[in-house]
Amino acid sequence: MNEPVTKVLGDSADAMPPPPRAGKWDIAKRELRKAPWSAKFGLLVIALYVLAALFAPFLTPFGESEIVGESFMPWDATFILGTDNLGRDMLTRLLYGARNTVGIAFITTCVAFLIGGTGGMLAAILGGWTDQVLSRVVDVLMAIPQLIFALLLLTIFGTSIPVLIVIIAVLDSTRVFRLTRAVSQNVVVTDFVESARLRGESLGWISFREVLPNILPPLVAEFGLRFCFVFLLIAGLSFLGLGLQPPTADWGSMVRDNATLITYGDITPLLPAGAIALLTVGVNFVVDWFLHKTSGLRDGK
Amino acid sequence: MENSPASKHLLEIRDLRIEGQSGEEWLEIVKGVSLTLDRGQIIGLIGESGAGKSTIGLAAMGFARPGCRISEGEILFDGVDLRGLQRKERRSLRGVRIAYVAQSAAASFNPAHRLIDQFSEIPVEHGISTKSEADADAIDLFTRLKMPFPDIIGLRYPHQVSGGQLQRAMTAMALSCRPDLIIFDEPTTALDVTTQIEVLATIRDIVEQFNTAAVYITHDLAVVAQMADKIIVLRYGEMIEEADTRIMLSDPKEDYTKSLWAVRSFKKTTEPPAPEPVPLLRVEHVTAGYGKELVLKDISFDIHRGQTVAVVGESGSGKSTAARVITGLLPPTQGAVFFDGKALPADYRERSKEQLRQAQMIYQMPDTAVNPRHRIRDIIGRPLSFYLGLSGEKHEQRVRELLNMIELEPDLFIDRYPGELSGGQKQRVCIARALAAEPQFIICDEVTSALDQLVAEGILKLLDRLQREFNLAFMFITHDLATVRAIADRVVVMLRGEIVEQGVKDTVFSPPHHEYTELLLSSVPEMDPDWLDNLLKRRVGSADLGGSDLIR
């Protein structure tokens, strides 16, 4: 940049002021405007799901597990999407399902990132034995197929929601651990981390103030992807009967409960499956866009 | 040739303008540069970073970096305007008639392939020769470039040869199709002085042998003085001055050129205070290494208050390892480090906050030495709150004082992120961070080698001023002897982990020298355009001491 020097400081060649900068909000707004349609669509889908989850009780007149009619009633004015195998309103259960399935998946992913992220950063920063022990434990956990392992643990510990969250979070944190460790290792060797160590900074400061801000973009993208996987896993487990337990509304078990309708040519049981698919696609679109932005990938112009 | 503006020169650039994309708009980064070049001639492009040297170098091949476009002007190569050619036609010229040698040979080679295979890739690809012909040619070129074991060195992978050899292999590769024009983009910047000489001599040799034309891009005046027939001085994409090398050196016209020429004249004037009986820092019989390999062998030296001790040596000589031992990052296997008469714990984790505060460090690469996600306020302010417990108004006040001290306007810089600053400004921020701890001793690890000469000079002046103001002791690690001459009080010369000579600067730098000191001193390019010729003449016959370039 060669704008005129506004203020001369001594005769130093470094006196050039940095160029002016746009505010954070302006940048965010501009980026959002420039976002591709797929990202906008994804954001819209996520926003709809969040709204549905938050306002489920106000969006429908029926209770979550309230039996309001005959079983397997067709779509009509009262029951917009019909009723399920026990006569509960399908739309109500779908809305509450967003709250349960998506909410629990979100909490689980957060816990997974807390465990895996902290562990990964510790392994990278401390190295040596800490790294060896943590990495080998993770290797062992990853060697066992995730779904089978989850099924096994759930049958041992029972299927309450806290147990479900902890088990899936621990199993999923292994992937987060590996990613965090890998990206942290690139940061840990930089001079500014060395300088922080030599200053005598604590482990906490180095992890959360020096390393974390620099590995955030790949972690955020991974968060979106992991969220999808967790969410699919919970739905899968519920479909198998080991996830969320009745009468809690949940998309996975809703598919199973109403599966018989498929044989009569009714698409109602596909709706919860569709809800799962739509959210997965939406989240992936947003993650793609975000990765593209932060990794500095450019379109092939 | 069907193009009308025929030219008798091999390369003629007329009024070249290049624009670079900055956000939504296009800014002109090269503003009307013209030059001509004939066979057997070397033209030197010189200027600071951002002057557009490399951009012009690439444009000479008809190429613009992603995000840049050639907006105006003609690039006539052998009478053909490169801008008018199709992509495919341009591609067939590159590597065959025009070759490019990049700054970092290490980054330009594919680490997974042998040197000789990478050499023959282009001639085989373009159907100029068969693989076996190309291989034979490679050995011939390796011999001409005086690479050791030319018959078999091509079978090595890039990491198995030294930096200087790699740079020569790169030059050989550029020659593989016998191009008419070679563009050298800072080919020796990453090399040690002793290695640099060999590469420089090689490049001059091949230009003579093959009657090739060359564009030589560098920021080092003394180097360009040896290489070029003609020099063009660039600044912010504009041509400041153009003249034959000898005229340019003896009689520069423009003020900017004169200021570039004067950079090397900075010299510290004040004498250090008389040494106290107990040195501030004493390194006593330190031996250290990684695993079984010893990098430091029985090193001892003292640093007194207010004194600058320069530690000089080529890469691999153990200079930086010595710094790691002093800071406690690498506990020595034998020996100890004393600060103010008291032994420091070997491991930095066992040192007290006070001990850590007293010794600060400034790094070579300002880009990686500051956290890109922290604001300048936090970078400089952290030692203040961490060591001195300052907060609130006092903290803010002190950060501003420090910014003033390093000659950066506080209001403009305090809320910025490092990415918005230039290299020199970032290095100043690093200095402020070190000063914030109010230390007595600062290790400067090659602090100016990543910076332009004018900027580097500013940093040296700043360090010198701060030393006088705060009676600081500096340990100055560098391979640049010009810097040593400018700022050091004492000099420690290191070779392969041992100290070969140490003492007061004037004593070390005046004869009689240790033979290695002599080699180092005589390898520093001087502004005299005959320097390289004379040096090579003198060295012919005498044993080659270039330790770094022995085959590994």
Which among B361, B358, B357 is positioned nearest to B387, based on CA atoms?
A: B357
B437 touches chain A (CB under 8 A): yes
Contact B458 A12 (CB under 8 A): yes
**Chain A: closest CA distance from residue B327 (Å):** 7
**Looking at residue B265, what is its pLDDT?**
65
Phi, psi of B21 (to 5 degrees): -85, 130
Same-domain check for residues B24 and B132: yes
pLDDT for B7 equals 55
For residues B338 and B480, membership in a common domain is answered with yes
Question: Which two three-digit tokens encode residue B42?
Answer: 């070397």
**Residue predicted with more confidence, B543 or B144:** B144
User: Over the stretch A172-218, which tens digit does the pLDDT of each residue have?
Assistant: 999 999 999 999 998 998 889 999 999 989 999 999 999 999 998 88
pLDDT, averaged across chain B: 83
Q: Does B256 touch chain A (CB under 8 A)?
A: no
- Inter-chain residue contact A21 with B420, CB threshold 8 Å: yes
Q: Tell me what the mean pLDDT of segment A42-54 comes to.
A: 89
| DSSP three-state, residue B53 | helix
B524: in domain: no
Interchain CB distance below 8 Å, A191 and B368:
yes
Q: What percent of chain B has pLDDT over 90?
A: 9
Mark whether B304 and B375 lie in a shared domain.
yes
Give the whole-angstrom CA distance, residue B168 versus residue B43.
Answer: 20
The verdict on a CB contact (< 8 Å) between B422 and A14 is yes
Cα atoms in the 13 Å half-sphere on the side-chain side of B76 = 21
The pLDDT value given to residue A298: 46
Contacts of B9 (CB under 8 A, 6+ apart): B36, B37, B38, B76
Decide: A250 and A103 in contact? Cβ < 8 Å. Answer: no
B509 at A interface, C-beta within 8 A:
no
Q: What is the DSSP string of B114-169?
A: -HHHHHHHHHHHTTSS-HHHHHHHHHHHHHHTT-SSTTTGGGS-GGGS-HHHHHHH
Q: Which residue from B minimizes the CA distance to A11? A: B458
Chain B nearest-CA residue for A201: B386
pLDDT score for A122: 93
ipTM score? 0.77
Task: Give per-residue pLDDT as tens, B462-502.
Answer: 888 888 888 889 999 988 887 888 888 899 998 888 888 88
State how far residue B66 is from chain A, nearest Cα, in angstroms. Answer: 9
**pLDDT at residue A11 is higher than 50:** no
Residue B536 in any domain: the answer is no
* B416 at A interface, C-beta within 8 A: yes
pLDDT greater at residue B20 or residue B340: B340
Q: Does A220 touch chain B (CB under 8 A)?
A: no
- The span from the CA of A73 to the CA of B23, in Å, is 58
| Domain identity same for B199 and B347 | no
Residue A13's pLDDT band (cuts 50, 70, 90): low
Tell me if A198 and B386 make a contact (CB, 8 A cut-off).
no
pLDDT at A16: 67
A121-128 average pLDDT score: 92
Q: Is residue B89 part of a domain?
A: yes
pLDDT above 90 coverage of chain A, percent: 31
Q: Residue A8: its chain B contacts at CB < 8 A?
A: none
pLDDT mean across residues, chain A:
83
Residue A253 has pLDDT above 70, yes or no: yes
pLDDT score of A180: 95
- pLDDT value at residue B548: 41
Helix (H, G, I), strand (E, B) or coil at B195: helix
pLDDT band for A7, please (50, 70, 90 cuts). very low
Q: pLDDT (tens digit, 9 = 90+) per residue, A135-182?
A: 999 999 999 988 889 889 988 988 888 999 999 999 999 999 999 999
pLDDT of residue B422: 81
Same domain, B77 and B157: yes
Residue B327 is nearest to which of A10, A21, A198, comparing CB atoms? A198
**In terms of domains, do B249 and B354 share one?**
no
Q: Is the model's pLDDT at A91 over the cut of 50?
A: yes
Question: How high is the pLDDT of residue B509?
Answer: 80
Query: Which one of B22, B327, B412 makes the best mutation probe of the A interface by having the most chain A beta carbons within 10 Å?
Result: B412
Nearest to A191 among B363, B412, B428 (CB): B363
Span A37-294: which CATH code? 1.10.3720.10
* Domain spans of chain A, in order of start: 37-294
Residues B163 and B293 in one domain: no
| A200 interfaces chain B, CB cutoff of 8 Å | yes
Q: Residue by residue, what is the 3-state secondary structure of chain A?
A: CCCCCCCCCCCCCCCCCCCCCCCHHHHHHHHHHHCCHHHHHHHHHHHHHHHHHHHHHHHCCCCCCCECCCCCCCCCCCCCCCECCCCEEHHHHHHHHHHHHHHHHHHHHHHHHHHHHHHHHHHHHHCHHHHHHHHHHHHHHHHCCHHHHHHHHHHHHCCCHHHHHHHHHHHHHHHHHHHHHHHHHHHHCCHHHHHHHHHCCCHHHHHHHHHHHHHHHHHHHHHHHHHHHHHHHHHHHHHCCCCCCCCCCCHHHHHHHCHHHHHHCCCCCHHHHHHHHHHHHHHHHHHHHHHHHHCCCCCCC
> In this model, does residue B209 exceed pLDDT 80?
yes
Residues of B within 8 A of A198 (CB-CB) are 327-329, 348, 356, 361
On whether any CB of chain B is under 8 Å from the CB of A19, the answer is yes
- Please tell me the distance from the alpha carbon of residue B201 to that of residue B203, in angstroms, as a whole number: 6
Nearest CB to B365: which of A12, A13, A191? A191
Residue B263: predicted pLDDT = 63
Q: Does one domain contain both B347 and B430?
A: yes
Does residue B372 belong to the interface with chain A, where contact is any CB pair within 8 Å?
Answer: yes
Mutate to test the interface with A, among B371, B430, B451 (most CBs of A within 10 A): B371
Stretch 112-171 of chain B: residues touching chain A, C-beta under 8 Å: none
Residue A79 or B281, more confident: B281
8 Å CB contact of B369 and A13: no
Same domain, B420 and B446: yes
Chain B CB contacts of A192 under 8 Å are 368-371
Report how far residue A139's alpha carbon sits from residue A274's, in angstroms, rounded to the nearest whole number: 34
Exposure string for B125-149, b = 16+ CB within 10 A, e = fewer: eeebbeeeebbebbbebbebbebee
In a domain, B275, yes or no: no
**Overall pTM > 0.90:** no
Distance, in Å, from the CA atom of A273 to the CA atom of A261, rounded to the nearest integer, reads: 14
Is the confidence at residue B3, as pLDDT, over 50? Answer: no
Measure CB to CB from residue B412 to each of A12, A18, A210 and give the nearest one.
A18
Q: How confident is the model over B447-461, as a mean pLDDT?
A: 81
- The CA distance from B450 to the nearest CA of chain A, in Å, is 14
Choose the weakest-confidence range: A57-66, B264-273, B304-313.
B264-273
Q: For residues B164 and A181, what is the distance between their CA atoms, to the nearest angstrom?
A: 35
Q: Can you read off the two tokens belonging to residue B203?
A: 């490049």
Task: Please check whether residues B230 and B332 belong to one and the same domain.
Answer: no
Q: Are B440 and B280 in contact (CB under 8 A)?
A: yes
| pLDDT at residue A9 is higher than 50 | no
- Give the per-residue pLDDT at A171: 92
Which residue segment(s) compose the domain that B388 sits in?
281-510
Most confident of B91-95, B158-162, B171-175, B383-387: B383-387
The pLDDT assigned to A111 comes to 95
Q: Tokens representing B521? A: 């001193």
Mutation choice for A interface testing from B324, B353, B373 by most A CBs within 10 A: B373
Q: Are residues B365 and B447 located together in one domain of the fold?
A: yes
CB contacts of B66 in chain A (<8 Å) are 298, 301
Q: Quick one: average pLDDT of A70-98?
A: 79
A300 in B contact zone (CB under 8 Å): no
Q: How confident is the model at residue B204 (pLDDT cuts 50, 70, 90)?
A: confident
pLDDT band at A300; cut points 50, 70, 90: very low
Of A34-48, B254-268, B338-352, B532-546, the least confident: B532-546
Does residue B189 form part of some domain?
A: yes
Distance CA B377, CA B43 (A): 45
Q: Which residues of A touch B416 (CB under 8 A)?
A: 18, 21
Partnered with residue B241 across adjacent β-strands are B233
B368 in reach of chain A (CB within 8 A)? yes
Cβ count near A281 (within 10 Å): 14
Task: Find out whether A136 and A104 touch, Cβ atoms under 8 Å.
Answer: no
Sequence-ordered list of residues with C-beta below 8 angstroms from that of A82, at least 6 positions apart, any chain: A72, A73, A74, A75, A76, A90, A266, A268
pLDDT digit string, tens, across residues B41-52: 888 888 877 778
Contact B363 A18 (CB under 8 A): no
Based on the fold, state whether residues B236 and B111 are members of the same structural domain.
Answer: yes
Helical pair A161-188 and A128-143, crossing angle rounded to 10 deg: 130
Q: What is the largest CA-CA distance in chain B?
A: 81
Q: Chain A residue closest to B455 (CA)?
A: A13
* B447 vs A contacts (CB less than 8 Å): none
Q: Is the pLDDT of residue B5 over 70?
A: no
Mention every residue, 6+ apart, whose C-beta is less than 8 A from residue B526. Answer: B222, B225
User: Cβ–Cβ of A213/B371 closer than 8 Å?
Assistant: yes
Is there a contact between A13 and B424 if contact means CB atoms under 8 Å apart?
yes
DSSP states of B360-385: EEE-S-HHHHS-TTS-HHHHHHHHHH
Q: Cis omega (within 30 of 0) on the bond before B511?
A: no
Tens-digit pLDDT profile for residues B429-438:
999 999 999 8
B181-216: burial string, b at 16+ Cβ within 10 Å, e else: bbbbbbbbbbbbbbbbbbbbbbbbebbeebebbbbb
Q: What is the pLDDT of residue A247?
A: 78
Do residue B327 and residue A201 have CB atoms under 8 angstroms apart? no
Joined tokens for residue B106: 């290490």
Quickly state the pLDDT bin for A296 (edges 50, 70, 90).
Answer: low
Largest CA distance in chain A: 88
On whether any CB of chain A is under 8 Å from the CB of B236, the answer is yes
Contact call for residues B161 and B33 (beta carbons, < 8 A): no
pLDDT exceeds cutoff 80 at B95? no
Query: Which phi and psi angles does B359 have, rounded to 5°?
Result: -120, 115
Is B266 an interface residue toward A (CB < 8 Å)?
no
- Interface probe with A: pick from B256, B368, B445, most Cβ of A within 10 Å: B368
CB pairs under 8 A between A and B: 89
The CATH number linked to B207 is 3.40.50.300
Task: Give the Å distances, CA to CA, from B381 to A233, B125, B396, B416, B418.
Answer: 46, 57, 8, 13, 14
Residue B67 confidence (pLDDT) above 90: no
How many domains does the structure of chain B reveal?
A: 2
Give pLDDT, residue B409.
86
A contacts of B432 (beta carbons < 8 Å): none
The answer on pLDDT for B301 being more than 80 is yes
Q: Given a cut of 90, is residue B127 above it in pLDDT? A: no
The pLDDT, as a whole number, for residue B88 is: 80
